[in-house]
């Protein structure tokens, strides 16, 4: 029950390197490629050291997920203050690297249940933040009746994520057209911030 095992601190440079290597592995080869041995090899250290900083492999993955979501949350806050929050959310969600990592975690959730609860908890929280920003744009007139902000939020993130997922697999057909449609709709919903010609002289 009580073992002699020791563990390292959370504010360690090596620990950070191990998390970086884990992210790289997930992106390059998928979550199933993550093992203490392979992570250690990337950093040039030994597998035992991974277990010094992370009790189990699950702990390593959860730690990476938390670090990733904290970074995502900061980006979200910045997007919230953008003059065109819908566009900001769209561009944030369409970021290939960041979103690819999120997708990998969502797939991992099916294999490692410890990840699953972590993801659901964060996602609902972030979604609330996003919806708040979207609501500021849509107002609460008839537009908001047909297009509730939380629904629009879900749709924007959903489309962006699927496009990233498809591109990762080498599917590109119709993507340019789909992006054009989304951007057209975003311009219509944010008329105040669409690019404009200078006002014509009064006649």
List interacting residues with its own copies (CB under 8 A). Answer: 29-33, 103-104, 106-111, 116-117, 119-120, 123-124, 127-128, 131, 146-148, 150-155, 157-159, 161-163, 165-166, 168-171, 173-178, 180-182, 184
DSSP 71: H
* Residues 89 and 81 sit within 8 Å (Cβ to Cβ): no
Among 24, 27, 38, 112, binds DNA (CB under 7 A): 38
Q: Is 6 in the site for DNA (CB under 7 A)?
A: yes
Q: Residue 34: which region, alpha, beta or left (left: phi > 0; alpha: psi -120 to 50)?
A: beta
Taken in order 70, 75, 80, 85, is the CA torsion positive or negative? negative
Is position 136 an interface residue for DNA (rule: CB under 7 A)? no
Q: Is there binding between residue 9 and DNA (CB under 7 A)?
A: yes
- Contact between residue 56 and residue 114 where contact means Cβ atoms under 8 Å apart: no
* Contact criterion met (CB below 8 Å) for 97 and 27: yes
Confirm if 71 and 99 have CB atoms less than 8 A apart. Answer: no
CB of 54 to its own copies, least distance (A): 19
Q: Which of 29, 58, 70, 74 binds DNA (CB under 7 A)?
A: 58
Cβ distance to DNA smaller for residue 48 or 176: 48
Contacting residues toward DNA, per CB under 7 A: 3-6, 8-9, 12, 14, 34-38, 40, 44-49, 51-52, 55-58
């Amino acid at each position: 029950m009580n073992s002699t095992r020791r563990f390292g601190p959370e504010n360690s440079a090596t620990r950070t390197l191990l998390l970086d290597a884990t992210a790289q592995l997930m992106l390059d080869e998928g979550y199933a490629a993550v093992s203490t041995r392979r992570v250690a090899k990337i950093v040039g250290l030994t597998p035992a050291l991974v277990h010094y900083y992370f009790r189990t492999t699950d702990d390593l993955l959860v730690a990476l997920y938390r670090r990733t979501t904290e970074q995502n949350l900061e980006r979200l806050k910045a997007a919230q203050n953008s003059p065109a929050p819908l566009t900001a959310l769209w561009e944030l969600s369409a970021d290939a690297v960041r979103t690819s990592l999120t997708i990998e975690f969502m797939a991992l959730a099916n294999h490692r249940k410890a990840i699953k609860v972590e993801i659901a908890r964060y996602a609902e929280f972030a979604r609330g933040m996003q919806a708040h920003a979207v609501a500021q744009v849509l107002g609460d007139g008839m537009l908001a009746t047909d297009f509730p902000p939380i629904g629009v939020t879900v749709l924007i993130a959903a489309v962006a994520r699927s496009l990233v997922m498809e591109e990762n697999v080498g599917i590109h057909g119709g993507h340019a057209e789909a992006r054009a449609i989304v951007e057209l709709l975003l311009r219509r919903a944010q008329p105040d911030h669409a690019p404009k010609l200078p006002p014509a002289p009064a006649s």
